[in-house]
A and B are shown apart, each in its own frame.
Chain A
Protein backbone atom coordinates (compact mmCIF):
# COMPACT_ATOMS: atom_id res chain seq x y z
CA UNK A 1 0.00 0.00 0.00
CA UNK A 2 1.71 3.22 -1.12
CA UNK A 3 1.37 5.97 1.47
CA UNK A 4 1.65 9.63 0.50
CA UNK A 5 3.45 11.96 2.86
CA UNK A 6 0.90 14.69 2.26
CA UNK A 7 -2.50 14.96 0.64
CA UNK A 8 -3.99 18.38 -0.07
CA UNK A 9 -7.73 18.58 -0.58
CA UNK A 10 -8.75 21.67 -2.53
CA UNK A 11 -7.44 23.67 -5.47
CA UNK A 12 -7.96 27.32 -4.65
CA UNK A 13 -5.17 29.71 -3.63
CA UNK A 14 -4.83 27.86 -0.28
CA UNK A 15 -4.48 24.40 -1.82
CA UNK A 16 -2.07 25.40 -4.59
CA UNK A 17 0.10 27.53 -2.31
CA UNK A 18 0.33 24.63 0.13
CA UNK A 19 1.24 22.40 -2.84
CA UNK A 20 4.00 24.78 -4.00
CA UNK A 21 5.59 24.91 -0.53
CA UNK A 22 5.16 21.19 0.12
CA UNK A 23 6.49 20.37 -3.35
CA UNK A 24 9.59 22.49 -2.76
CA UNK A 25 10.05 20.66 0.54
CA UNK A 26 10.09 17.45 -1.49
CA UNK A 27 6.94 16.07 0.14
CA UNK A 28 5.52 15.09 -3.29
CA UNK A 29 2.01 16.23 -2.34
CA UNK A 30 -1.06 14.71 -3.96
CA UNK A 31 -3.62 17.44 -4.64
CA UNK A 32 -7.28 16.52 -4.96
CA UNK A 33 -8.49 19.38 -7.12
CA UNK A 34 -12.08 18.21 -7.15
CA UNK A 35 -14.35 17.88 -10.14
CA UNK A 36 -17.88 19.04 -9.49
CA UNK A 37 -18.25 19.06 -5.70
CA UNK A 38 -17.88 22.37 -3.84
CA UNK A 39 -17.44 24.48 -6.97
CA UNK A 40 -15.07 24.17 -9.92
CA UNK A 41 -11.39 23.23 -9.63
CA UNK A 42 -9.47 26.43 -9.03
CA UNK A 43 -12.06 27.76 -6.60
CA UNK A 44 -13.95 31.00 -6.43
CA UNK A 45 -11.40 32.92 -8.49
CA UNK A 46 -12.39 30.82 -11.48
CA UNK A 47 -15.62 32.82 -11.62
CA UNK A 48 -13.98 36.16 -10.93
CA UNK A 49 -12.92 38.28 -13.86
CA UNK A 50 -10.51 41.00 -12.78
CA UNK A 51 -8.49 40.47 -9.62
CA UNK A 52 -7.17 43.92 -8.84
CA UNK A 53 -5.85 43.48 -5.31
CA UNK A 54 -3.52 40.50 -5.63
CA UNK A 55 -0.03 41.94 -5.10
CA UNK A 56 2.32 41.79 -8.04
CA UNK A 57 -0.19 42.57 -10.77
CA UNK A 58 -0.52 46.36 -10.98
CA UNK A 59 -2.77 46.14 -14.03
CA UNK A 60 -4.94 43.44 -12.45
CA UNK A 61 -5.09 39.80 -13.47
CA UNK A 62 -7.86 37.48 -14.61
CA UNK A 63 -8.96 35.08 -11.84
CA UNK A 64 -8.81 31.89 -13.98
CA UNK A 65 -5.39 32.88 -15.33
CA UNK A 66 -4.05 33.47 -11.83
CA UNK A 67 -5.27 30.04 -10.76
CA UNK A 68 -3.82 28.42 -13.86
CA UNK A 69 -0.44 29.96 -13.02
CA UNK A 70 -0.61 28.78 -9.40
CA UNK A 71 -1.42 25.26 -10.63
CA UNK A 72 1.51 25.30 -13.05
CA UNK A 73 3.79 26.40 -10.24
CA UNK A 74 2.56 23.53 -8.04
CA UNK A 75 3.13 21.06 -10.90
CA UNK A 76 6.61 22.44 -11.48
CA UNK A 77 7.57 21.49 -7.92
CA UNK A 78 6.27 17.97 -8.18
CA UNK A 79 2.68 18.16 -6.98
CA UNK A 80 0.49 15.42 -8.39
CA UNK A 81 -2.92 16.89 -9.28
CA UNK A 82 -6.05 14.72 -9.43
CA UNK A 83 -9.28 16.01 -10.97
CA UNK A 84 -11.34 13.90 -8.64
CA UNK A 85 -13.83 14.59 -5.84
CA UNK A 86 -12.99 13.37 -2.36
CA UNK A 87 -16.10 11.62 -1.06
CA UNK A 88 -14.90 10.40 2.33
CA UNK A 89 -12.02 10.88 4.76
CA UNK A 90 -11.11 8.75 7.75
CA UNK A 91 -8.95 10.61 10.26
CA UNK A 92 -9.53 7.97 12.96
CA UNK A 93 -6.89 5.67 11.51
CA UNK A 94 -3.20 6.17 10.66
CA UNK A 95 -2.21 6.64 7.95
CA UNK A 96 -5.32 8.66 7.13
CA UNK A 97 -7.58 7.27 4.43
CA UNK A 98 -8.84 9.59 1.69
CA UNK A 99 -11.49 8.12 -0.56
CA UNK A 100 -12.22 9.86 -3.85
CA UNK A 101 -14.70 9.00 -6.58
CA UNK A 102 -12.03 7.17 -8.58
CA UNK A 103 -9.35 6.16 -6.08
CA UNK A 104 -8.34 5.65 -2.45
CA UNK A 105 -5.17 7.25 -1.11
CA UNK A 106 -3.47 6.86 2.27
CA UNK A 107 -1.48 9.73 3.74
CA UNK A 108 0.48 10.63 6.87
CA UNK A 109 -0.65 14.27 6.72
CA UNK A 110 -3.58 16.16 5.20
CA UNK A 111 -4.13 19.84 4.42
CA UNK A 112 -7.72 20.89 3.86
CA UNK A 113 -8.39 23.85 1.57
CA UNK A 114 -11.88 23.06 0.30
CA UNK A 115 -13.09 26.66 0.55
CA UNK A 116 -16.59 28.00 0.91
CA UNK A 117 -19.51 28.48 -1.41
CA UNK A 118 -21.58 31.68 -1.48
CA UNK A 119 -25.10 31.04 -0.30
CA UNK A 120 -27.96 31.45 -2.70
CA UNK A 121 -31.64 32.13 -2.15
CA UNK A 122 -32.72 29.60 -4.81
CA UNK A 123 -35.42 31.95 -6.08
CA UNK A 124 -37.56 30.83 -8.99
CA UNK A 125 -35.72 31.99 -12.12
CA UNK A 126 -32.41 32.31 -10.31
CA UNK A 127 -30.63 29.58 -12.27
CA UNK A 128 -31.46 31.26 -15.58
CA UNK A 129 -30.10 34.64 -14.50
CA UNK A 130 -27.13 33.39 -12.54
CA UNK A 131 -24.15 35.42 -13.81
CA UNK A 132 -26.62 37.17 -16.04
CA UNK A 133 -27.90 39.68 -13.54
CA UNK A 134 -27.85 37.62 -10.36
CA UNK A 135 -24.56 37.20 -8.55
CA UNK A 136 -23.20 36.41 -5.12
CA UNK A 137 -20.26 38.76 -5.50
CA UNK A 138 -20.66 42.47 -6.15
CA UNK A 139 -16.91 42.97 -6.00
CA UNK A 140 -16.54 40.36 -8.76
CA UNK A 141 -19.36 41.31 -11.06
CA UNK A 142 -20.42 44.83 -10.12
CA UNK A 143 -18.38 46.51 -12.83
CA UNK A 144 -20.12 44.55 -15.57
CA UNK A 145 -21.67 46.74 -18.32
CA UNK A 146 -25.02 45.20 -17.32
CA UNK A 147 -25.09 47.42 -14.23
CA UNK A 148 -23.62 50.69 -15.46
CA UNK A 149 -26.09 53.46 -14.58
CA UNK A 150 -28.72 50.83 -13.76
CA UNK A 151 -30.84 49.97 -10.72
CA UNK A 152 -29.63 47.01 -8.71
CA UNK A 153 -30.41 45.40 -5.36
CA UNK A 154 -28.40 43.76 -2.62
CA UNK A 155 -30.02 41.15 -0.36
CA UNK A 156 -28.77 40.98 3.22
CA UNK A 157 -28.38 43.04 6.36
CA UNK A 158 -24.84 42.41 7.55
CA UNK A 159 -21.56 44.19 7.03
CA UNK A 160 -20.87 42.42 3.75
CA UNK A 161 -24.28 43.44 2.38
CA UNK A 162 -23.53 47.03 3.40
CA UNK A 163 -20.09 46.87 1.79
CA UNK A 164 -21.51 45.48 -1.43
CA UNK A 165 -24.26 48.12 -1.57
CA UNK A 166 -21.74 50.92 -1.05
CA UNK A 167 -19.39 49.41 -3.61
CA UNK A 168 -22.15 49.14 -6.20
CA UNK A 169 -22.93 52.86 -5.97
CA UNK A 170 -19.75 53.40 -8.00
CA UNK A 171 -21.43 51.79 -11.00
CA UNK A 172 -25.17 51.65 -10.51
CA UNK A 173 -27.44 54.68 -10.47
CA UNK A 174 -29.47 53.35 -7.56
CA UNK A 175 -28.96 50.51 -5.10
CA UNK A 176 -31.84 48.96 -3.15
CA UNK A 177 -30.85 47.13 0.01
CA UNK A 178 -33.41 44.42 0.72
CA UNK A 179 -33.44 43.69 4.44
CA UNK A 180 -35.47 40.78 5.74
CA UNK A 181 -36.12 42.39 9.13
CA UNK A 182 -36.67 45.91 10.45
CA UNK A 183 -33.03 46.41 11.43
CA UNK A 184 -29.52 45.82 10.17
CA UNK A 185 -26.89 43.52 11.60
CA UNK A 186 -24.19 45.71 10.06
CA UNK A 187 -21.90 47.79 12.28
CA UNK A 188 -22.93 51.31 13.28
CA UNK A 189 -20.33 52.89 10.99
CA UNK A 190 -21.56 50.94 8.01
CA UNK A 191 -25.18 51.70 8.89
CA UNK A 192 -24.47 55.42 8.99
CA UNK A 193 -22.75 55.31 5.63
CA UNK A 194 -25.61 53.29 4.15
CA UNK A 195 -28.46 55.36 5.49
CA UNK A 196 -26.86 58.64 4.48
CA UNK A 197 -25.98 57.62 0.96
CA UNK A 198 -28.26 59.32 -1.56
CA UNK A 199 -28.01 56.44 -4.06
CA UNK A 200 -28.99 53.75 -1.55
CA UNK A 201 -32.55 52.98 -0.57
CA UNK A 202 -33.01 50.54 2.30
CA UNK A 203 -36.19 48.48 2.03
CA UNK A 204 -37.07 47.06 5.43
CA UNK A 205 -39.01 43.81 5.95
CA UNK A 206 -38.59 43.00 2.31
CA UNK A 207 -38.23 39.49 0.93
CA UNK A 208 -37.46 38.64 -2.71
CA UNK A 209 -39.87 36.03 -4.11
CA UNK A 210 -38.90 35.42 -7.73
CA UNK A 211 -36.77 36.77 -10.58
CA UNK A 212 -37.90 37.60 -14.10
CA UNK A 213 -36.55 38.82 -17.43
CA UNK A 214 -35.68 37.65 -20.92
CA UNK A 215 -32.05 36.94 -21.76
CA UNK A 216 -31.03 38.99 -18.72
CA UNK A 217 -32.66 39.88 -15.40
CA UNK A 218 -35.28 42.65 -15.72
CA UNK A 219 -37.32 42.66 -12.51
CA UNK A 220 -37.99 40.79 -9.29
CA UNK A 221 -41.08 40.24 -7.23
CA UNK A 222 -40.78 41.24 -3.57
CA UNK A 223 -43.01 40.88 -0.54
CA UNK A 224 -43.49 43.35 2.25
CA UNK A 225 -43.52 41.15 5.37
CA UNK A 226 -45.93 43.04 7.71
CA UNK A 227 -48.66 43.54 5.11
CA UNK A 228 -47.92 40.56 2.84
CA UNK A 229 -48.23 42.90 -0.14
CA UNK A 230 -46.41 41.74 -3.26
CA UNK A 231 -44.89 44.23 -5.68
CA UNK A 232 -42.53 44.33 -8.63
CA UNK A 233 -39.14 45.95 -8.54
CA UNK A 234 -37.42 46.63 -11.90
CA UNK A 235 -33.73 45.70 -11.62
CA UNK A 236 -30.73 44.89 -13.76
CA UNK A 237 -28.78 43.26 -10.98
CA UNK A 238 -29.47 41.28 -7.83
CA UNK A 239 -26.58 40.56 -5.47
CA UNK A 240 -26.66 38.10 -2.62
CA UNK A 241 -24.76 38.92 0.54
CA UNK A 242 -26.37 36.36 2.78
CA UNK A 243 -23.20 34.61 3.83
CA UNK A 244 -21.06 31.68 2.81
CA UNK A 245 -21.28 27.99 3.55
CA UNK A 246 -17.91 26.33 4.20
CA UNK A 247 -17.32 23.12 2.30
CA UNK A 248 -16.92 20.98 5.42
CA UNK A 249 -19.61 18.32 4.99
CA UNK A 250 -16.82 15.73 4.58
CA UNK A 251 -15.30 16.54 7.95
CA UNK A 252 -18.34 16.66 10.19
CA UNK A 253 -17.95 14.45 13.26
CA UNK A 254 -14.20 14.23 12.65
CA UNK A 255 -12.87 17.76 13.00
CA UNK A 256 -13.93 20.52 15.35
CA UNK A 257 -16.13 22.96 13.47
CA UNK A 258 -17.55 26.24 14.74
CA UNK A 259 -21.27 26.95 14.83
CA UNK A 260 -21.30 28.13 11.23
CA UNK A 261 -19.50 24.97 10.10
CA UNK A 262 -16.00 26.42 9.60
CA UNK A 263 -13.03 24.29 10.66
CA UNK A 264 -11.58 25.52 13.93
CA UNK A 265 -7.84 26.02 13.94
CA UNK A 266 -5.56 26.35 16.91
CA UNK A 267 -4.65 29.96 17.70
CA UNK A 268 -2.20 31.44 15.21
CA UNK A 269 -1.52 28.08 13.58
CA UNK A 270 -3.53 26.24 10.94
CA UNK A 271 -3.60 23.02 12.98
CA UNK A 272 -6.96 21.35 13.54
CA UNK A 273 -7.85 19.26 16.59
CA UNK A 274 -6.34 16.20 14.90
CA UNK A 275 -2.52 16.13 14.79
CA UNK A 276 -1.47 15.74 11.16
CA UNK A 277 -4.46 17.63 9.75
CA UNK A 278 -4.32 21.34 8.89
CA UNK A 279 -6.89 23.69 7.39
CA UNK A 280 -6.20 26.74 5.22
CA UNK A 281 -8.18 29.35 3.31
CA UNK A 282 -11.90 30.08 3.40
CA UNK A 283 -12.78 26.70 4.92
CA UNK A 284 -11.40 28.05 8.22
CA UNK A 285 -11.80 31.80 7.69
CA UNK A 286 -15.12 33.59 7.55
CA UNK A 287 -13.55 36.94 8.27
CA UNK A 288 -11.04 37.92 5.57
CA UNK A 289 -11.90 35.50 2.72
CA UNK A 290 -9.32 36.90 0.30
CA UNK A 291 -7.15 35.09 -2.24
CA UNK A 292 -4.05 36.47 -0.57
CA UNK A 293 -5.06 35.39 2.94
CA UNK A 294 -5.99 31.94 1.62
CA UNK A 295 -2.58 31.69 -0.02
CA UNK A 296 -0.95 32.89 3.22
CA UNK A 297 -2.64 30.23 5.35
CA UNK A 298 -1.90 27.61 2.66
CA UNK A 299 1.78 28.48 3.05
CA UNK A 300 1.51 28.25 6.85
CA UNK A 301 -0.18 24.84 6.66
CA UNK A 302 2.53 23.45 4.38
CA UNK A 303 5.33 24.73 6.63
CA UNK A 304 3.60 23.30 9.70
CA UNK A 305 3.03 19.97 7.95
CA UNK A 306 6.66 19.81 6.83
CA UNK A 307 7.91 20.42 10.38
CA UNK A 308 5.47 17.92 11.86
CA UNK A 309 6.39 15.20 9.35
CA UNK A 310 10.09 15.76 10.08
CA UNK A 311 9.42 15.43 13.83
CA UNK A 312 7.43 12.23 13.27
CA UNK A 313 10.23 10.73 11.20
CA UNK A 314 12.85 11.73 13.79
CA UNK A 315 10.58 10.28 16.51
CA UNK A 316 10.17 6.95 14.78
CA UNK A 317 13.94 6.69 14.16
CA UNK A 318 14.58 7.36 17.85
CA UNK A 319 11.90 4.84 18.84
CA UNK A 320 13.45 2.23 16.57
CA UNK A 321 16.96 2.84 17.94
Chain B
Protein backbone atom coordinates (compact mmCIF):
# COMPACT_ATOMS: atom_id res chain seq x y z
CA UNK B 1 0.00 0.00 0.00
CA UNK B 2 1.32 3.43 -0.84
CA UNK B 3 1.93 5.92 1.95
CA UNK B 4 -1.08 7.99 2.81
CA UNK B 5 -1.12 11.70 2.11
CA UNK B 6 -1.05 12.77 5.76
CA UNK B 7 2.36 11.25 6.45
CA UNK B 8 3.85 13.97 4.26
CA UNK B 9 2.50 16.68 6.54
CA UNK B 10 5.31 18.21 8.58
CA UNK B 11 3.54 21.24 10.04
CA UNK B 12 -0.18 21.00 10.68
CA UNK B 13 -2.91 22.50 12.81
CA UNK B 14 -5.90 21.35 14.79
CA UNK B 15 -7.39 18.19 16.20
CA UNK B 16 -8.38 16.69 12.83
CA UNK B 17 -4.82 16.78 11.54
CA UNK B 18 -3.59 15.24 14.79
CA UNK B 19 -6.10 12.38 14.62
CA UNK B 20 -5.34 11.74 10.97
CA UNK B 21 -1.60 11.56 11.69
CA UNK B 22 -2.18 9.30 14.68
CA UNK B 23 -4.01 6.85 12.43
CA UNK B 24 -1.79 7.01 9.40
CA UNK B 25 1.79 7.87 10.37
CA UNK B 26 4.43 5.81 12.09
CA UNK B 27 6.50 8.90 12.86
CA UNK B 28 6.35 10.69 16.22
CA UNK B 29 4.09 13.72 16.49
CA UNK B 30 4.94 16.85 18.43
CA UNK B 31 1.78 18.62 19.54
CA UNK B 32 2.19 22.23 20.58
CA UNK B 33 -0.64 23.70 22.65
CA UNK B 34 -0.76 27.47 22.43
CA UNK B 35 -3.09 30.30 23.45
CA UNK B 36 -3.74 33.72 21.94
CA UNK B 37 -1.63 36.58 23.38
CA UNK B 38 0.76 34.07 24.97
CA UNK B 39 4.24 35.62 24.79
CA UNK B 40 5.99 32.39 25.81
CA UNK B 41 4.29 30.64 22.89
CA UNK B 42 5.77 33.20 20.50
CA UNK B 43 9.19 32.77 22.08
CA UNK B 44 9.03 29.00 21.70
CA UNK B 45 7.62 28.96 18.13
CA UNK B 46 10.86 29.50 16.14
CA UNK B 47 12.73 27.01 18.35
CA UNK B 48 10.28 24.18 17.67
CA UNK B 49 10.08 25.13 14.01
CA UNK B 50 13.85 24.71 13.76
CA UNK B 51 13.97 21.43 15.70
CA UNK B 52 11.25 19.88 13.55
CA UNK B 53 12.77 21.20 10.30
CA UNK B 54 16.15 19.73 11.28
CA UNK B 55 14.56 16.30 11.64
CA UNK B 56 13.85 16.35 7.89
CA UNK B 57 10.45 14.72 7.84
CA UNK B 58 10.97 12.25 10.69
CA UNK B 59 8.63 14.09 13.03
CA UNK B 60 5.32 15.89 12.56
CA UNK B 61 4.30 19.03 14.40
CA UNK B 62 0.69 19.94 15.07
CA UNK B 63 -0.28 23.25 16.66
CA UNK B 64 -3.47 23.39 18.69
CA UNK B 65 -5.01 26.54 20.14
CA UNK B 66 -6.21 25.46 23.57
CA UNK B 67 -8.92 28.11 23.61
CA UNK B 68 -10.36 26.65 20.40
CA UNK B 69 -10.13 23.06 21.60
CA UNK B 70 -10.30 23.19 25.40
CA UNK B 71 -11.71 19.63 25.58
CA UNK B 72 -8.61 18.12 23.98
CA UNK B 73 -6.34 20.23 26.17
CA UNK B 74 -8.21 19.19 29.32
CA UNK B 75 -8.23 15.54 28.25
CA UNK B 76 -4.45 15.60 27.86
CA UNK B 77 -3.95 17.42 31.15
CA UNK B 78 -2.79 20.58 29.46
CA UNK B 79 -3.41 23.59 31.73
CA UNK B 80 -0.91 26.16 30.57
CA UNK B 81 0.46 27.49 27.33
CA UNK B 82 2.79 26.58 25.81
CA UNK B 83 2.66 22.84 26.49
CA UNK B 84 4.37 20.34 24.22
CA UNK B 85 3.07 16.75 24.10
CA UNK B 86 4.97 14.12 22.13
CA UNK B 87 3.02 11.21 20.69
CA UNK B 88 3.75 7.95 18.94
CA UNK B 89 0.37 7.05 17.47
CA UNK B 90 -2.00 7.78 20.37
CA UNK B 91 0.50 7.07 23.13
CA UNK B 92 1.86 10.06 25.06
CA UNK B 93 5.63 9.69 25.35
CA UNK B 94 6.54 13.02 26.87
CA UNK B 95 4.95 16.22 28.10
CA UNK B 96 6.73 19.55 28.61
CA UNK B 97 4.54 22.18 30.29
CA UNK B 98 5.50 25.86 30.24
CA UNK B 99 8.52 27.40 28.59
CA UNK B 100 11.64 25.36 29.38
CA UNK B 101 15.29 25.50 28.25
CA UNK B 102 15.69 24.87 24.50
CA UNK B 103 17.87 21.82 25.07
CA UNK B 104 14.96 20.00 26.72
CA UNK B 105 12.85 20.17 23.54
CA UNK B 106 15.81 19.25 21.40
CA UNK B 107 16.68 16.19 23.49
CA UNK B 108 13.09 15.01 23.83
CA UNK B 109 12.56 15.08 20.05
CA UNK B 110 15.98 13.53 19.40
CA UNK B 111 15.29 10.66 21.80
CA UNK B 112 11.89 9.85 20.35
CA UNK B 113 13.05 10.06 16.74
CA UNK B 114 16.05 7.80 17.31
CA UNK B 115 13.87 5.32 19.22
CA UNK B 116 11.38 5.08 16.37
CA UNK B 117 13.96 4.57 13.62
Contact = CB atoms under 8 A, between A and B. Distances in A.
A215 B70 CA distance: 10
A49 B101 CA distance: 26
Contacts of B46: 83
B103 interface: yes
> What 8 pairs across the A-B complex have the smallest Cβ distances?
A46-B39, A36-B99, A40-B39, A40-B40, A128-B79, A40-B43, A41-B43, A64-B39
Nearest to B97: A127
Interface of B: 37, 39-40, 43, 46-47, 70, 79-80, 99-103
A130 to B, nearest CB: 8
Interface-centre pick from B39, B46, B101, B102 (highest chain A CB count, 10 A):
B39
A239 to B, nearest CB: 19
Contacts of B40: 36, 40
A35 B79 contact: no
Interface centre among A36, A42, A83, A127, by most chain B C-beta atoms within 10 angstroms, is A36
A205 B92 CA distance: 46
B43 A83 contact: yes
Contact of A35 (B37, B43, B80): B43
A47 interface: yes
A306 interface: no
Contacts, number: 35
A287 B39 CA distance: 26
Contacts of B101: 35-36, 85, 101
Interface of A: 35-36, 40-42, 46-47, 49, 64, 83, 85, 101-102, 127-128, 130, 215
30 contacts: A35-B47, A35-B99, A35-B102, A36-B40, A36-B43, A36-B99, A36-B100, A36-B101, A40-B39, A40-B40, A40-B43, A40-B99, A41-B39, A41-B43, A46-B39, A47-B39, A49-B37, A64-B37, A64-B39, A83-B43, A83-B46, A83-B47, A85-B101, A101-B101, A101-B103, A127-B79, A127-B80, A128-B79, A130-B80, A215-B70
Given A127-B79, A127-B80, A128-B79, A42 B103 contact: no
A49 B37 CA distance: 9
A215 B40 CA distance: 21
A42 B37 CA distance: 13
B84 to A, nearest CB: 13
User: Which of A35, A101, A215: most chain B CB closer than 10 A?
Assistant: A35
Contacts of A36: 40, 43, 99-101
B44 to A, nearest CB: 9
A101 B103 CA distance: 9
Given A127-B79, A127-B80, A128-B79, A42 B39 contact: yes
B96 to A, nearest CB: 11
A130 B98 CA distance: 12
A102 to B, nearest CB: 8
Nearest to A47: B39
